[in-house]
Amino acid sequence: MVLSIGDLSRRTGVKVPTIRYYESIGLLPAPARSDGGQRRYGRAHLERLGFVRHARDLGFEIEAIRELLAMAEDREGACGEAHAITRAHLADVEDRIARLSALRDELRAMLACDNGTVAQCRIIEVLADHEQCLHERH
Amino acid sequence: MVLSIGDLSRRTGVKVPTIRYYESIGLLPAPARSDGGQRRYGRAHLERLGFVRHARDLGFEIEAIRELLAMAEDREGACGEAHAITRAHLADVEDRIARLSALRDELRAMLACDNGTVAQCRIIEVLADHEQCLHERH
DNA sequence: CCTTGAACCTCTAGCGGCTAGAGGGAGTAG
DNA sequence: CTACTCCCTCTAGCCGCTAGAGGTTCAAGG
């Protein structure tokens, strides 16, 4: 299997410039080149990029993915660290959900007024005065 | 009331370089200066920056805040557009909550394995193979 | 074999929303 | 007057890409 960067892009859903970017930061190994200097990929690249893509979709940061990739290479190694990374990420996601939910409530409350003039508008008023918020901390 | 940039920073919780940044992008008007060229702020700046800070906390983008500020100035104007901006932002927040919740479920499922070797680890396995996900789309 | 046209190459700059650091001047308390 | 903190401008960097310029290579059709 020999793939151009465009083929790899279509197969993984990762854009061409992003693939080159990943190579530049060392997340993907530099592939072989054609006589004319174009990148030629194989199955290993396809799988590795699929892994990266998937982890990015799941919201892992590049540095975390770098560590996960290193672990994935060592199939006999312990996966404790992968759990630690995932737990940390989960905690972060849960925190973001909590903060966004509070924010959603705030925004809904702000919308609970008729469209009148700015002088009567809760949105402008709330933004100008934190005291009117539902929560002390958003 | 005359405030230095540091005073303004302490009163609003916005960092000093961020205040200068806001001025540079035209979100805050340029204040008067002391003889020596240091910024001197008054009550109007304090209120405007408080508004900005609050809107940022609520997750509004700078451009949205620019529009909200323009509306807040015209107290007799209609606030319909403020509602539109807020509704759009709310929709965005709700969408992010939904996607993060799906992601949270995914991460929790990935953690449901004992710490063994990488070869048996669900985390590495799931990352390498999208088919194993709970949802088709995260 | 030749032409076309898409795809590829490298390089630089830009996005948002700040943050950090260098190298210097201003203000203030003792 | 000194010491010290705060302030000034300017440039560069953060993340994770994305866009564009200007040029080269590849593959299919004639």
Number of CB pairs, chain A paired with chain B, less than 8 A apart: 152
Whether residues A118 and A90 fall in one domain: yes
> For residue A23, what pLDDT is reported?
95
Tell me, what amino acid is at A134?
A: L
> For residue A57, what pLDDT is reported?
84
Provide the CB-side half-sphere exposure for A71 (13 A, CA): 28
Q: What are phi and psi of B129, to 5 degrees?
A: -145, 100
Cα torsion angle, B47, B49, B53, B55, sign: positive
| Integer angstrom CA distances of residue B110 from A57, B104, B121 | 14, 10, 9
Least trusted range by pLDDT, from A21-25, A27-31, A33-37, A122-126: A122-126
Split into its structural domains, chain A has a count of 2
Whether residues A64 and A114 fall in one domain: no
DSSP A31: P
Contact A94/B at CB under 8 A: yes
State chain B's mean pLDDT as an integer: 84
B48 CA vs D4 C1’ separation (Å):
32
Chain C nucleotides reached by a protein CB under 7 Å: 7-11, 16-21, 25-27
Task: Show residues of chain B in contact with A130, CB under 8 Å.
Answer: 50, 54
Quote the tokens at residue A105.
Answer: 């409530």
| Structure confidence by residue, pLDDT tens digits, B100-110 | 888 888 888 87
- Whether residues A107 and B71 touch (CB distance < 8 A) is answered with no
| Structure confidence by residue, pLDDT tens digits, B82-98 | 888 888 888 888 888 88
> Which range marks the domain in which residue B25 is found?
5-73
Domain boundary among A73, A101, A124: A73
| DSSP run (H or E) holding B32 | strand B32-33
